[in-house]
Amino acid sequence: MIAIIDYRMGNLRSVQKGFEKVGHEAFVTGNPEDILAANGVVLPGVGAFKDCMSNLTEGKLIDPIHKVIKGGKPFLGICLGLQLLFTEGEEFGIHKGLDIIKGRVVRFPEPRTPNPEPLKVPHMGWNSINIRGQGVKGSRGLNPRTLEPSNPLFKDIPDNSYFYFVHSYYVVPEDDSIIASTTDYGVEFVSSISKDNLFAVQFHPEKSQEMGLKILKNFGDMCKT
Amino acid sequence: MLTRRIIPCLDVKDGRVVKGVKFLNLRDAGDPVDVAEGYDREGADEITFLDITASHENRNIIIDVVYRTAERVFMPLTVGGGIRTLDDIRNLLKAGADKVSVNTAAVKDPEFVKRASERFGSQCIVVAIDAKKVESRESRVRSQEINSNLPLLKWEVFTHGGRNPTGIDAVEWAKKMEEYGAGEILLTSMDRDGTKEGYDIELTRSISEAVGIPVIASGGAGNLQHLYDGFVKGKADAVLAASIFHYREYTIKEAKEFLRDKGVNVRLTNY
């Protein structure tokens, strides 16, 4: 079973229904014991960085999250669930994150900076992802035997596939080697990361139709093995 | 690159999709979940439900519709119509909506938008603006419907489904709503709504250039060129359309192919 962490932020039902649609059982829970007992854990989330951190603290959920990730179980962060893994975020002042990934969470440049076509913030809508290493023979990120992307989260997902985004901040990891994909929105920002059992995406797989459901399926498959 | 979005809009009354012109001669057009699923298959970028249920007792029917939609449709869902309280928003988001659009409640109390965006995040608070050109207002001044001493505006904000004038300038209002935490503006031209003459391009561009948040053009789409004009001339980030898709005049796919061939960046799906 996959545990979806409930900390009173955002639309959790769509994540749960997405897993069910692709044949994986998932349940929404705010109970630390349930989270520790699950085969895989999802940290979803929309809303403000600071509120999410304080809700995680109040729910006594921070310790279980660290334990699950250290323990090697598949873990998937979605949107704010990616950003919270980082050292600190700058939304409404500097706030401490979970500090599992070294790095910062920063805002897109102001939309009114002189530009013929100023970019709107939030970055909202469908954008494509450039999967690291994909399509480049011998580059890091490819499985040396099959030349397929070795990242199991992106199994059967072609490079440049579209996903649904809605966010005003993006992550800047210190260690480039954890970058799983990037996306272009005025700046080229990190749209997903992966490190061993830890995966996190800035976009919303549960809102990204066919390709998004594939991500949930791939993650669910990892939880079964 | 970020693609431009096409958003079909469904009018939902007492839990059923209805079609009609300007809310008249409404007829039943099926279960919203089935209709939404059809648009999902065609590759719509989002879907919007506008709840036009009149009686307050039947308001919770829309919650059930959203609840069932979230089980079958995996794309962004916005719900608008009759949202007054933070509890209304919480219930819709919990049922599976991603965004809510507020109109009358924002005009009545702008602080409501602030509270809602602080509580749920700007990304899920859409402010819907129904705007009407002042020429039509001046004719109402002449017919003494409204006071001629009000300052002269270019486009005026209306509430209650376009029935009540507010005296508020639409461009100023959009800027204020951005400041109060709106994540997106759903802009409907009351002059064009239902006419199939195309979006009010000047209005759309004026507001899109005045704010730093995305703007959805609405009201008047009658053919695919209108969608193109909304994006390119109106600088809209997304376009909303109802009748051209409902009556199968065009499919979403045809609309996107038309736009792609004219150089607009849209998302085309192969499945």
Query: pLDDT tens-digit profile of A107-154?
Result: 998 765 555 567 899 999 999 999 986 544 444 555 555 555 578 999
Answer yes or no: are the C-beta atoms of B264 and B240 closer than 8 Å: no
Place of tokens 């580059």: A139
Beta carbon pairs, A and B, within 8 Å: 106
pLDDT-derived band at B128 (thresholds 50, 70, 90) equals very high
Residue A149, pLDDT score: 58
Higher-pLDDT residue of A145, B50: B50
Beta bridge partners of B185: B127, B215
**pLDDT score of A206:** 96
Name the pLDDT band for B143 (thresholds 50, 70, 90). low
**A interface with B, Cβ–Cβ below 8 Å:** 10-11, 13-14, 17-18, 20-21, 46-48, 110-112, 118-128, 162, 164-168, 184-185, 204, 206-210, 212-213
Closest residue by Cα to residue B21 from B192, B189, B195: B195
Cα of B148 to nearest chain A Cα, Å? 36
Helices and strands of chain B, counted as H and E runs: 11, 12
Q: Look at residue A138 in the predicted model and tell me its pLDDT.
A: 42
Contact status, residue A197 vs residue A111, Cβ threshold 8 Å: no
Tell me, yes or no, if A52 is annotated catalytic.
Answer: no
- CA nearest A183 in B: which residue? B1
CA-based nearest residue to A162, from A216, A199, A206, A125: A125
Contact predicate A99/A69, CB 8 Å: no
Task: Tell whether the model's pLDDT for residue B78 goes beyond 70.
Answer: yes
Question: Which residues in chain A touch residue B212, judged by CB atoms under 8 angstroms apart?
Answer: 110-112, 118, 120-121
Q: Cβ–Cβ of A124/B124 closer than 8 Å? A: no
Q: Would you call B123 and A46 a contact, using CB atoms and an 8 Å cutoff?
A: yes
Contact A37, A29 (CB under 8 A): no
pLDDT range class, residue A62, cuts 50, 70, 90: very high
What residues in A contact B95, CB-CB < 8 Å? 13
Chain B residues touching A166 at Cβ < 8 A: 76, 98, 123, 183
Tokens of A105: 């969470």
Whether the CB-CB separation of B6 and B252 falls below 8 Å is answered with yes
> How far, in Å, CA of A157 to CA of A11, rounded?
24
- C-alpha–C-alpha distance, residues B130 and B7, integer Å: 17
Q: Which residue of B has its CA nearest to A213?
A: B74
Q: What is the dihedral of CA A192, A193, A199, A205, to 10 degrees?
A: 0
State yes or no: pLDDT of B149 exceeds 80.
no
Write down the pLDDT at residue A45. Answer: 80
- pLDDT digits 0-9 by tens, A11-33: 788 999 999 999 999 999 999 99
Residue B24: pLDDT band (50, 70, 90) is low
**Is a pLDDT exceeding 80 seen at residue B148?**
no
Position B146 confidence tier, pLDDT thresholds 50, 70, 90: low
What integer best gives the mean pLDDT of chain A? 89
Question: Which residues of chain A does B213 touch, with a Cβ-Cβ cutoff of 8 Å?
Answer: 120-122
pLDDT of residue A73: 96
CB-nearest to B96 from A13, A122, A128 is A13
pLDDT in tens, B221-258: 999 999 999 999 999 999 999 889 988 899 999 999 99
**Distance from C-alpha of A198 to C-alpha of B230, rounded to nearest angstrom:** 42
Question: How much of chain A, in percent, has pLDDT values that exceed 70?
Answer: 88
Place of tokens 């401490």: A96
**Cβ atoms A32, A5 nearer than 8 A:** no
Tokens of B253: 């796919």
Reported ipTM: 0.91
Residue of chain A nearest B71, judged by CA positions: A17
CA distance linking residue B237 with residue B254, whole number of Å: 19
Does the distance separating the beta carbons of A46 and B212 come in below 8 Å?
A: no
pLDDT tops 90 at residue B86: yes
Q: Which residues contact A117 (CB under 8 A, 6 or more apart)?
A: none
- Pair B100, B78: CB distance under 8 Å: yes
The one catalytic residue among B45, B88, B98, B130: B130
pLDDT grade, residue A36 (50/70/90)?
A: very high
Residues of A whose CB is below 8 A from B270 = none
Architecture of domain A2-224: 3-Layer(aba) Sandwich (3.40)
Match 């819907």 to its residue by tokens.
Answer: B128
> Residue A136's pLDDT is what?
46
Asked if A48 lies within 8 A of B118 by C-beta distance, the reply is yes
Residue spans of beta strands (DSSP E) within chain B = 5-13, 16-21, 24-28, 47-51, 77-80, 99-102, 125-133, 155-159, 164-169, 184-189, 215-218, 238-241
Q: Is 60 exceeded by the pLDDT of residue A77?
A: yes
Mean pLDDT across chain B: 90
User: Measured between alpha carbons, how far is residue B69 from residues A11, A16, A18, A101, A202 in Å?
Assistant: 13, 13, 12, 36, 24
Q: A128: how many CB neighbours lie within 10 A of its CB?
A: 19
**Radius of gyration over every alpha carbon of chain B, rounded to an integer in angstroms:** 18
| Residue B61: band (very low, low, confident or very high) from pLDDT cuts 50, 70, 90 | very high
Determine contact: B70 vs chain A, CB below 8 A. Answer: yes
Domains, chain B, in order of start with CATH, read 5-261 (3.20.20.70)
CB contact under 8 A, B71 and A17: yes
Element (H, E) at A52: helix A49-58
B-chain residues within 8 Å CB-CB of A204? 76
CB contact under 8 A, B96 and A127: no
Token pair for A36? 């520790």
What pLDDT sits at residue A137?
44
Give the three-state DSSP class for A73. Answer: coil
Let me know: does B99 contact B184? Beta carbons within 8 Å: yes
